[in-house]
Structure 1
């Protein structure tokens, strides 16, 4: 689900209703023609009839260069474009409701999004014709909303389990600040996986009842089963049993599902969240006794088994005072008002919080081993969970006399083993002539408030700047391609 929030004249954040009169918009895109796109409830309701033209859960594919959606008109769409359609529809709907154009935006992202996925999200905003003020981590936005609404000081653990992603964030909230201590997560863990588990169970039962053996290989039946299973998942948060009815072959089949059986299906996924939560607390040097409140955020936290897990782990009942579907958006709106006011383009919100976030990924550089110049290692420069914005300088040395260049490879990931990290960019940098072996070269690496990394290299011998390391980001679109997609967006009818 997606939502749009604004801060009213009294300084309070509120959600903006879409053209259908609802505050939540399904994050679903339907391609109805070569230049026509539908977004939201209409698109979701048409998924069963037009599965080949419908795409959802695109957040999981952001920054994936190998993914593209090809609709029935044989038009290819990158994840950045699909996300841009969603953003454009949300902005247009908000503009209609507010009676004025919407151009400046703050967009929320999963806390565990890496540089590639954050850059892809920023590209989507540009393609949609929006001016991105800030990217903010979703758990941080939820904590902002909590802090503004309730103002309770203490250490808060935000457990954010949505439709496609999972984040867990530990932070300190006070009357005037929100400081993130540590964050972790899994960008491929959420309600979508619960739906898939239900779908597999239903397909197996239908086969046992004499229905089709390959129910989930038919795209139309798959779309129908997914829709029914999503409804069943919701029902099981209120009732102890439900029935999924599926038309298969010559007859319809009714598959009964109990809450107990459903909880067995999703237990492996919940265990993955438990491992991440416990690991986060260990990394932060924090015990459950030091956690004052647990905030469940995201639609999947409505599942009773999720809340029971949180109570078992923490020894305290989850704090349900923030709306699981709305808290992230309301916090982002509050932050947007603060950013706009600081830039002189908007009125100050009624209550402001100083927000301090952390890096979700470690950033480093490829270096040679001290005892073997042929062995390459990853050297972490900015560690995960460092407060941002951050700037770290580190000095390295040339390996040969009169060395004419160095190859700078910036990395993202943990540990020294090069095969376990991502190479963000590889760029040759020319060196001045006459440098001795072991000449010092200083790397300055910074991490901005949007979670994007920047780097510069300096020659300390001659006290000169050698230049900025341009992050070509091979997994992302180049600037020219983004501009092409932005121009193409202007020819699209998005509704």
Structure 2
């Protein structure tokens, strides 16, 4: 049996960790000796097909070979239309590009541990929907990993924080990564981690702060005569590299210079921290609003929050710390590394998951557990010196079903079955009725989102089930099961005959099929990843 590791698969940087025999999680160094690996892939072709390069060297090539480099692929997870075409003529899905990153992380972990790595817990933003969670699990399988669990990033960070010592606290986790933002309210009592509420924005992260700085610098360059910078891919790639460097510099100094050469002419733009913060004010306010929304959802005031955890490298920006301190009236906890906490917590969860599998074996990578098989997550005694660890998470998205609200005018509505911030695993039912006489089929259309208007929710899957030809208005019961990985099972019951019409896992319209995953697995296995 191989080792189980925790993986923080980030938008801009990724990290791996493992739980040692002492019960302490530790970060595994990359082959380059670093604690994190840039989530960047350079597709190289030396005449025999693609040989992807992952990490720091690939990131350095982004400015000089932008057409051959993939960055921020996490933002495209669950998007069935996204593709990358390499210069070798190969086409890659977001799951395959992520699998290449995961394959490199797996190789580096095996080098550090000097043993095979077979199992992993991979983290995702708490606000990731079903399609993106499934895509992450599929990427792990394509990379040759047995994905034990897809774990929310704030929950992972809290695990790393809470196991340092015995705690009894209400904690708010403010998680601003490279591409996503999550805020989670959680109660920690000894080794019980009880999520109260969570919210977020999967399109808000350090990348967007970079974009705001890029726009500011581009405007300043235009005043100096360098126009159309944002329309030139090579110039934009160079500007992005310099803007990211400037952002990091402004973390420790009050001002810096951004120097670029456009059209053979050198330019210099002075950027102060005040300029940067002014450019990012709307982004900062978006995170503030989400924090306040989560407190409202949890019915908790700042006086009841004991600790604030800052997670994600983007929280190093002074404006973030100042805003959180001002808003909460508390200084954020300093005994947690924002770059490493998620991977460390994932390693803890990986050890928990592996220790509870029969004979230490995990489920098959593509196997999804039915929620009734895991009513609550309580694990122990190893590897935590006899202490059980309980994690109670919540749904980040509401789950609903499309119903016919007005048969005469054929008007549809979204009926919420499982509300947002419901404890998982969850099981909820709603009663519906047939819409016309002698109806023999029911199409179940599963949605995510809590709006009653179908135009403002996302359909994640559908299935057709047969039923006897009853009169209009015959009662049916639809039941949703939501498991700990926040994947969905549906059951439809005939209340006239008191029998089940069928149980099915949602056929996700945005994800790869099992056959496509199998083909992708063979494809990535055959590729040499450096």
TM-score between the two structures when normalised by the length of structure 1 = 0.96
- Asked if residue 486 in structure 1 is aligned to residue 521 in structure 2, the reply is yes
The alpha carbon displacement at 1:241 in A equals 0.6
Residues in 2 aligned to 1:154 and 1:26: alpha-carbon distance in whole angstroms: 34
TM-superposed deviation, 1:253: 1.4
Cα contact 1:108–1:137 (8 A) shared by 2: yes
- Any residues of structure 2 matched to 1:192-211 within 5 Å, and which? 192-210=207-225
1:17 Cα deviation after fit: 0.7
Q: Provide the aligned length of Structure 1 versus Structure 2.
A: 493
Post-superposition offset of 1:73:
3.0
2:338 equivalent in structure 1: 324
Bigger shift: residues 63-72 or 38-47:
63-72
Aligned partner of 2:308 among 281, 294, 303:
294
- Counterpart in the other structure of 2:405: 369
CA distance in 1, matches of 2:505, 2:235: 47
> Would the aligned equivalents of 1:427 and 1:470 in 2 still touch at CA under 8 Å?
no
- Aligned CA distance change for structure 1 residues 103 and 301 (closer, same or farther; 3 Å): same
Instruction: State the Cα RMSD in Å.
Output: 1.6
Query: Which stretch of structure 1 is more off in the superposition, 66-75 or 47-56?
Result: 66-75
Task: Report matched runs for 1:8-407 at 5 Å.
Answer: 8-33=20-45, 34-210=49-225, 212-343=226-357, 344-345=359-360, 348-350=382-384, 352-369=388-405, 374-407=410-443
Structure 1 alignment gaps of length 5 or more: none
| Counterpart check, 1:441 vs 2:476 | yes
SS in 2 for 1:348: coil
Tell me if 1:423 matches 2:465: no
- Could you give the per-residue CA deviations for residues 7-26 of structure 1, whole angstroms, max 9, x where no partner exists? 00111100111111111111
The answer to whether the 8 A contact 1:148-1:353 is kept is: no
Match of 2:374 in 1: none
8 Å CA contact 1:399–1:437 kept in 2: the answer is yes
Partner SS state of residue 472, structure 1: coil
Q: CA deviation at 1:373?
A: 6.9
Describe the SS at the equivalent of 1:378: strand
Q: Unpaired segments of 5 or more residues in structure 2?
A: 1-12, 362-380
- Contact 2:476/2:495 (<8 A) preserved: yes
Over residues 427-474 of structure 1, what are the superposed CA-to-partner deviations in whole Å (9 max), with x where a residue is unaligned? Answer: 2211124x3433222212111111111101122222322112342211
C-alpha contact 1:457 1:469 (8 A) present in aligned 2: no
1:409 and 2:445 equivalent? yes
Question: Deviation per CA, 1:89-138, whole angstroms, max 9, x where unpaired?
Answer: 10111011111111111000000000011111111111111111000000
Distance change >3 Å, CA 202–CA 61, structure 1 → 2:
same
- Kept in 2, the 8 Å contact 1:338–1:352? The answer is no
Instruction: Write the distance in 1 (CA, Å) between the matches of 2:284 and 2:165.
Output: 29
The Cα shift of 1:66 comes to 2.2
Deviation at 1:371, TM superposition (A): 7.9
> For residue 454 of structure 1, what is the aligned residue in structure 2?
489
SS of aligned partner of 2:280:
helix
